[in-house]
Chain A
Amino acid sequence: MTANGWFQIFFFFALVLLCAKPLGVYMARVFEREHTWADRIFRPVELLVYRLTGIDETHEMAWTEYAVVMLLFSLVTMVATYAIERLQHILPLNPQHLAAVTPDLAFNTAASFTTNTNWQSYVPETTMSYLTQMLTLAYHNFFSAAVGIALAVALIRGISRRESKTLGNFWVDATRASLWVLLPACLIYALLLVSQGVVQNFRPYDQAKLVQAQTVTTTGTDGKATTQTITTQSIAQGPAASQEAIKMLGTNGGGFFNANSAHPFENPTPLSNLMQMFSIFVIPAALTVTLGRMTRTPKHGWAVFAAMAALFFAGVLVAYYAEAQPNPLLHSVNQHVAATQAGGNMEGKEVRFGIASSALFATVTTDASCGAVNSMHDSFMPLGGLVPMVNIMLGEVIFGGVGAGLYGVLIFVVLSVFIAGLMVGRTPEYLGKKIESYDVKMAMLYVLIFPLSILGFSAISLMMPNLGLSALTNTGPHGLSEILYAYTSATGNNGSAFGGLSANTHWYNLSLAAAMLIGRFLMIVPMLAIAGNLAKKKLVPPSPGTFPVHTPLFTVLLVGVILIVGALTFFPALSLGPILEHLLLHAGKSF
């Protein structure tokens, strides 16, 4: 580890901290319909949208209506995405004449982008037309993120409202999240990315003549080897910058190119890399301020922020330490940091980013359900690879996805105050609302669905040699990590791939799609049930038994609950995967 590396990490976090308050206050004003500087631009557009779509912006929804409307909206957009993928060969903006996407892959991709996961079982530049990328995938990048923000705002309203049967209007919240927050930020951000060299065009792919011809031997399905001499290379183009902006700000993570943020046209410079990490974290971090402001308890928002920050620094410390250490299998090689080498583990990392920025990016992208990658997680040292997996397994509540991170951590807040209430023998309260058995049942439903999907699908894949194991490129604990990571990433709606798993098969396309849908929608429903139930409650005045939710003690308890729930659920699986691999690596064995 170097001082330069730590400077990059602290500088990144200082930027996030600096912007969290103004953005959080701005979002609170947007969702409480207070006056903002952007009203003059977006209010007429908003009114036009409502007039064209017949939305009554004064209509308030109960939690069930909010949930059903959100589910139906997601169904319609998912089916439309599937249809466009299947018909892209006869639709415009397809200069490469790409074929229709296969049905199982189209289903996987439709589920992936509808759920804000952006898991990609395909190579974008050889599978998706420009129209598919722009009309369906970029559209979902906006609206799945807007839905996440709307849901978080609905939960905050549930906490802050008293004796109310409603949580707001889904259409209004999603529209305002798109128009006031995501759209203006993306417009500026896309231009900044273009300034760094991210491409934005509709050109057919460039053909470059190779300086040195390459001879490649491939084995066909019939087992016959074919040798080819390659003299030219296709260099993919396209409207990448516009997609890149919302990919990061919406914590979507689906790359325009297959190499994602390691591709020089998608993330060309260290400055674009910093901007990308910042844009992943800034909205989720700001939403904690929004929570504090909308519930009239700013200190509570900061206490939640502090818990997230503590977990973030713990993750980045372990990831950076693990990657900066010399590989024990290369003991005879000088691996120390020097002017001519980065030291530590550089396999799967871009030289222009180095170890610190790669470890930081991996931590940020998995803390925040983004899933963009600037290095290959599969090539991390076992403990380095453990960090992204654990980040997702903790429920992606370390800032988390836009909206999803906040409503996820608030479920843990409910559990924390419940446990604190049990410890002192008083009825648990959260910001003046009594936490009752129904709230805890719904919170437990939320917490239990997550491991059920991850561990259930992983177990099925591991038990089926022809479907699950045949797609692996590594054996032993590393192979287990590859399967476990895939279902963790899908259920957590993260979308990053560990790598080493050929997931474009019928089994993986369909089962990962199921995991993504379960991890998104079957967790949102109990969360909204808690929001609806909290909104109906009376406010009880604080008593000596009330557990304050703005103190360092609360932050410590919240961190403890998140870690204990995660550890109890996933430690056995992790001990057979990355932990065992770490121990075997030091015993001289690799997989």
Chain B
Amino acid sequence: MWDIGCIGASVLFFAIAIGYAIGCDRLKTKEKQG
């Protein structure tokens, strides 16, 4: 159970980080349009 939780947490963190990178990129696009 712990193993699934730890691996799941790692995957979740990096998914958030990738989403965060995409968000930072979108902010630039939004600023350009604004």
Contact = CB atoms under 8 A, between A and B. Distances in A.
Contact of A71 (B6, B14, B27): B14
A13 interface: no
A4 B26 CA distance: 57
Interface string B1-34: 0110111011101100110111011011001000
B10 to A, nearest CB: 6
A442 B17 CA distance: 15
Contact of B13 (A442, A517, A528): A517
A533 B25 CA distance: 9
Interface in A67-88: 67-68, 71-72, 74-75, 78-79, 82, 86
A525 B5 CA distance: 25
A525 B24 contact: yes
Given A74-B14, A103-B2, A522-B17, A82 B24 contact: no
**Chain A: number of interface residues, binned into ranges:** 20 to 34
B10 A442 contact: no
A529 to B, nearest CB: 4
A107 interface: yes
A67 B21 contact: yes
A446 to B, nearest CB: 11
Interface of A is mostly: helix
A86 B3 contact: yes
A64 B6 contact: no
A79 B10 contact: yes
Nearest to B2: A103
Given A79-B10, A438-B27, A64 B21 contact: yes
A46 interface: no
B17 A529 contact: no
A220 B18 CA distance: 46
Given A438-B28, A526-B24, A72 B14 contact: yes
B4 to A, nearest CB: 10
A148 B5 CA distance: 28
B17 A525 contact: yes
A103 B6 contact: yes
Nearest to B16: A522
Contacts of A522: 17, 20
A433 B20 CA distance: 25
Contact of B31 (A438, A445, A525, A528): A438
Contacts of A72: 14, 18
A68 B10 contact: no
Interface of A: 63-64, 67-68, 71-72, 74-75, 78-79, 82, 86, 103-104, 106-107, 110-111, 437-438, 441-442, 445, 514, 517, 521-522, 525-526, 528-529, 532-533
Given A67-B18, A514-B13, 9 more contacts: A71-B21, A75-B14, A82-B7, A82-B10, A86-B3, A445-B24, A525-B20, A526-B24, A532-B25
18 contacts: A63-B25, A64-B21, A67-B21, A68-B18, A68-B21, A71-B17, A75-B11, A78-B10, A79-B11, A82-B10, A104-B6, A111-B10, A438-B27, A445-B24, A514-B13, A521-B17, A529-B21, A533-B28
